Amino acid sequence: MATVYEDPFIKIATMIGGDEYHKVARSLLKSIDATDEEIASSTGLRINLVRKILYDLFGKSLISGVRVKDEKKGWFVYRWRSRREEVEGFIENQKKKIVDRLERRLSYEEGSEFYHCGNEDCRRVTFEDALEAMFKCPSCSQILEAQDNGPVKGALSSKIEAIKGDMQQTF
Ligand SMILES: [Zn+2]
């Protein structure tokens, strides 16, 4: 689907919505200020799908639309163009959101003790829940034992570091 070297705008569109977004993004770069109808005919996608994708990209500030009068038809249409300068900001934003989520998860891991019965099919429980269940697993009734969540914390930390390191570089 995507080639090794490709415009960041096309890359990010593909990441958001896959093959169909890929087609629309390519079409937007190929012909600047195209209408939804023009994009539909150049991509072979249904007009409703093209509109949905355009509104989504517009909502994410990755494209802009200008309302102009179609001289032939006599009504107003939107002409769309990519906002390639927004791509980097968008990516940074996404990464920040992921880091935020991972950091919240990490502080949850750091602030809680977990107990587990050792049975792979059962979920771990917090100390409070283990206490309430008299240290018997709510699912299989086996004895709950303290679980070391060090590996989980380690994995979260290194993931956070990796994304933060990546954020210094350009896409
Ligand atoms: Zn269990």
User: Which residue type occupies 132?
Assistant: E
Residue 30 lies in a domain: yes
Give the span between the Cα atoms of 118 and 123, in whole angstroms.
9
Query: Ligand 1 centroid to 122 CA: how many Å?
Result: 5
Residue 58 falls inside a structural domain: yes
- Residue 36 lies in domain: 8-82
Residue 141 Cα distances to 75, 129, 130, 134, 160, angstroms? 70, 13, 11, 10, 36
Does this model's pTM top 0.85? My answer is: no
- Coarse DSSP helix, strand, coil percentages of the chain, rounded to the nearest 5 percent: 55, 15, 30
**Residue 92 and residue 29 share a domain:** no
Which residue from 50, 49, 57, 24 is spatially nearest to 36, judged by alpha carbons?
A: 50
Which runs of consecutive H residues, i.e. helices, occur in 18-86?
19-30, 36-43, 47-59
Confidence of residue 4 (pLDDT cuts 50, 70, 90): low
Kindly report, residue by residue over 80-104, the tens digit of the pLDDT.
999 988 998 898 898 999 999 999 9
pLDDT tens digit sequence for 31-62: 989 999 999 999 999 999 999 999 999 999 99
CA dihedral 160, 98, 12, 2 (to 10 degrees): 60
CATH number at residue 25: 1.10.10.10
Do the domain assignments include residue 1? Answer: no
CA of 108 to the centre of ligand 1 (A): 22
Ordered DSSP codes for 136-160: B-TTT-PBPEEE--HHHHHHHHHHH
Which residues have CB atoms below 5 A from the ion given as ligand 1?
117, 119, 122, 137, 139-140
pLDDT, tens only, 6-27? 788 999 999 999 999 999 999 9
Of 46, 67, 82, the last residue of a domain is 82
User: What pLDDT does 2 receive?
Assistant: 47
